[in-house]
Amino acid sequence: MINLFSVDQAFGLGQEEIDRLCIRPVGRSRFAPIYSTADAVYLAAGLSLKIGRLAAIRFPSKDKVTAWPLLNVERQCRFVLSFRFDANWRPIAWAAQEVSFLFSICELSHLARTDEAYEWAGYAGLAFDQGWLETGPPIFNGRFRTSYRFADALLKA
């Protein structure tokens, strides 16, 4: 896997923790009419929240993106860790983006209200705006929280 930049420095996650998040089983990927990685990350977070299981957004190029919204409890830093996979689910890259930065680079205004992706964006917006990260379940020995209620014992150890 290619490390896009050092999450260890900026967000407090170790490589072992990143690897554990990367290998989580993913439900069926869903297509979205987007071309921006940031948009895919945003929609992947919302889709996972809606269906209650880690899900992926599929690009027109067949690459897939998953997302983990996380709160660093110690630093009170809200960010989203995302993983990109190729068409055969081989990891390509990961990246971490602060929630405020992710908001600033997303361009979802082209989505029609009838698009499924419009609903997924709504779920992601709730997670980031309404404090779900701050009140979400603790993971990795309580050092982080996530808005994903389905995070299980694998991530708590």
pLDDT digits (tens, 9 = 90+) for 43-58: 999 999 999 999 999 9
Q: Which residues constitute the domain of residue 15?
A: 2-147
Say how far apart CA 87 and CA 61 lie, in whole Å: 8
Q: Is residue 49 part of a domain?
A: yes
- 15, 87, 89, 152, 154 from 25: Cα distances, Å: 18, 15, 11, 12, 12
- Beta strand 144-146 pairing with 64-72: antiparallel
Q: Is 69 left (phi over 0), alpha (psi -120 to 50) or beta?
A: beta
Q: Could you give the 3-state DSSP secondary structure of residue 89?
A: coil
Structural domains of the chain, count: 1
Question: pTM to 2 decimals?
Answer: 0.88
Within-domain flag for 23:
yes
Q: Is residue 87 part of a domain?
A: yes
* Residue 152, in any domain of the structure: no
- 72, pLDDT greater than 60: yes
Q: What percent of the chain has pLDDT over 90?
A: 40
Confidence of residue 25 (pLDDT cuts 50, 70, 90): confident
